[in-house]
Chain A
Amino acid sequence: MPKLQQLPPQIKTTWRVSALLNALWLLLPLAGAILANLFWHWHFIFIIITAILLIAIPAVQLALIPYRYHFTGYEITPEFVILQTGFIFRKQDTIPTARIQNVTLEQGPLLRWQHLQAVRIVTAATTHTIEGVVLDVADNLRETIVHFASEVQADA
Chain B
Amino acid sequence: MPKHLHPLAILAKLIDLVRQFILPWIFVLWTQLHSPRLPLLLILGALLLIGIALLDYALFTYEFADRAVIINHGIIKRQHEHIPYDRIQTIQQNQAWYMRPFDLMQLQIETSGHDKDRPEAVLPVVTASVYAALLKRRNTLQNDATPAITPSQPATTYHIKSSDLNTYALTSQGIIPLLAVIGWLQSRLQQLDNFLPARFTNGLNQLMQRSTVAGVLSLIIFVLLISLIISYFREIMRFYHFTLSRQEMQLTTSRGLLSRNVVSTSITKIQAVAVSQTLIRQLFHLTTLQVLLASNAASDEAQHNLVLIPVLKQNKVWSEISRFTNLNAIKQPNLSTISRAGYWRFVRNSLLLSLLVVGPCLMWLRPWGYLSLLLFPLAYGLGDYAARNTGFEILQSDNTIFLQYGKQAQRRLFIVRRQKIQAISQRQTIWMAKRQLSHLNVFIRSGNHVEVVQLRYLTRQQSQQVAQWFEVVK
In the complex, chain B residues whose CB is within 8 Å of the CB of A93: 423-426
Chain B residues within 8 Å of A94, by CB: 423-425, 467, 470-471
Count of A-B contacts judged by CB separation below 8 Å = 61
* CB <8 Å contact, B471 and A90: no
With known contacts A125-B443, A126-B443, A126-B450, A92–B426 Cβ distance under 8 A? yes
CB distance from B249 to the nearest CB of A (A): 18
Q: Scoring A residues 30 to 60 as 1 if CB is less than 8 Å from chain B, else 0, what string do you get?
A: 0000000000000000000000000000000
Interface contact A125-B423, CB-CB below 8 Å: yes
Task: Name 19 extra pairs, CB < 8 A, besides A89-B430, A91-B425.
Answer: A79-B471, A89-B427, A90-B427, A92-B425, A92-B467, A94-B471, A95-B422, A96-B423, A99-B423, A123-B443, A124-B114, A124-B445, A125-B443, A125-B444, A125-B445, A125-B446, A125-B449, A125-B451, A126-B423
Is B374 among interface residues, defined by CB-CB distance under 8 A?
no
Closest A residue to B474 by beta carbon equals A79
* Chain A residues engaging chain B, CB cutoff 8 angstroms: 79-80, 87-96, 98-99, 123-126, 128
A92 to B446, CA, bound (A): 22
Measured between beta carbons, the chain A residues less than 8 angstroms from B470 are: 94, 96
Interface residue B163 (Cβ < 8 Å from any Cβ of A): no
Asked if B473 is an interface residue, CB under 8 A from chain A, the answer is: yes
Which residues of the partner chain B approach A123 to less than 8 Å between Cβ atoms?
422-423, 443
CA distance A87 to B433 in the complex (A): 10
Check if B428 sits within 8 Å of A90, measured CB to CB. Answer: yes
* Contact yes or no, B443 A80, CB < 8 A: no
Interface flags, B457-474, vs A, CB<8A=1, else 0: 000000000010011010
CA distance A94 to B443 in the complex (A): 10
Hey, which chain A residues are within 8 Å of B449, CB to CB? 125
Give a binary string over B275-313; 1 marks a CB under 8 Å from any A CB, 0 the rest: 000000000000000000010000000000000000000
In the bound complex, CA of A123 to CA of B251 (Å): 26
Chain A residues touching B, majority SS: strand
Query: How far is it, in angstroms, between the C-alpha of A87 and the C-alpha of B449 when the chains are bound?
Result: 29
Cβ–Cβ < 8 Å partners of B423 in chain A:
93-96, 99, 123, 125-126, 128
Q: With an 8 A cutoff between CB atoms, is B334 at the interface? A: no
- The CA-CA distance from A123 to B429 in the complex, in Å, is 25
Question: Which residues of chain B have C-beta atoms less than 8 A from A92's C-beta?
Answer: 425-427, 467
Contact residue among A87, A88, A89, A126 (Cβ-Cβ distance under 8 Å from B422): A126
Q: Which residues, 332 to 363 on B, are CB-close (under 8 Å) to A?
A: none
Number of B residues near A (Cβ < 8 Å) is: 25
Residue of B nearest to A67 (CB): B430
A126 to B446, CA, bound (A): 11
Shortest C-beta distance, A119 to chain B (Å), equals 15
For B451, list chain A residues within 8 Å (CB): 125
Q: How far is the CA of A79 from the CA of B427 in the complex (A)?
A: 21
Q: Is the CB of A90 within 8 A of B433?
A: yes
Compute how far the CA of A124 lies from the CA of B295 in the bound complex, rounded to whole angstroms: 11
Query: What are the interface flags for B400-442 relative to A under an 8 Å C-beta threshold, 1 for contact and 0 otherwise?
Result: 0000000000000000000101111111111001000000000
Taken together as a complex, chains A and B put the C-alpha atoms of A128 and B451 apart, in Å, by: 16
From B426, B429, B433, B450, contact of A125 by CB (8 A): B450
Name the CB-closest residue of B to A124: B445
**Shortest Cβ distance from A86 into B: residue:** B427
CB distance from A151 to the nearest CB of B (A): 13
Q: Which residue of B lies closest to A99 (CB)?
A: B422
Distance between Cα atoms of A114 and B449 in the complex (Å): 35
The CA-CA distance from A91 to B419 in the complex, in Å, is: 22
Smallest CB gap from A83: residue in B:
B425
User: Closest chain A residue to B431 by CB distance?
Assistant: A88
**Docked pose: A128 CA to B446 CA in angstroms:** 18
User: Please, how many angstroms separate the alpha-carbon atoms of A123 and B443 in the complex?
Assistant: 10
A93 to B471 Cα, complex, angstroms: 11
A98 to B422, CA, bound (A): 9
* Interchain Cβ contacts under 8 Å between A and B, 6 examples: A91-B426, A91-B427, A123-B423, A125-B444, A125-B450, A126-B443
Closest residue of chain A to B463 (Cβ to Cβ) is A92
CB distance from A122 to the nearest CB of B (A): 9
Minimum CB–CB distance from B230 to chain A (whole Å) comes to: 36
Q: Is the CB of B429 within 8 A of A90?
A: yes
Nearest A-chain residue to B444, judged by Cβ: A125
Question: Complex formed: what's the CA distance from A125 to B443 in Å?
Answer: 7
- Least CB distance from A117 to B in Å reads 22
- What are the 9 A-B residue pairs with the smallest beta carbon separation, nearest first? A125-B450, A125-B422, A125-B445, A123-B422, A95-B423, A93-B425, A92-B426, A124-B445, A126-B443
Determine how close the nearest CB of chain A comes to the CB of B463; give it in whole angstroms. Answer: 9
The closest CB in chain B to the CB of A80 belongs to B471
Closest beta carbon of chain A to B395's beta carbon, Å:
18
Q: Which of A80, A87, A125 contacts B430 (CB 8 A)?
A: A87
Q: Which of B114, B446, B449 counts the most chain A CB atoms within 10 A?
A: B114
Who on chain A is nearest to B430 by CB? A88
Contacts of A99 in B (CB 8 A): 421-423
Please state if A88 and B429 are interface contacts (CB–CB under 8 Å).
yes
Please report the C-alpha to C-alpha distance between residue A93 and residue B422 in the assembled complex, in whole angstroms.
Answer: 11
Expressed in whole angstroms, the Cα–Cα distance for A124 and B89 within the complex equals 15
Query: In the complex, how many angstroms separate the beta carbon of A90 from the nearest chain B beta carbon?
Result: 5
Bound CA span A91–B427, Å: 4
Q: Are B430 and A90 in contact (CB under 8 A)?
A: yes
CB A79 to nearest CB in B, in angstroms, measures 6
What residues on A are CB-neighbors of B444 within 8 Å?
Answer: 125
Alpha-carbon distance A96/B449, docked complex (angstroms) = 19
Per the bound structure, the CA–CA distance linking A4 and B424 in Å amounts to 17
Q: Are the CB atoms of B433 and A124 closer together than 8 Å?
A: no
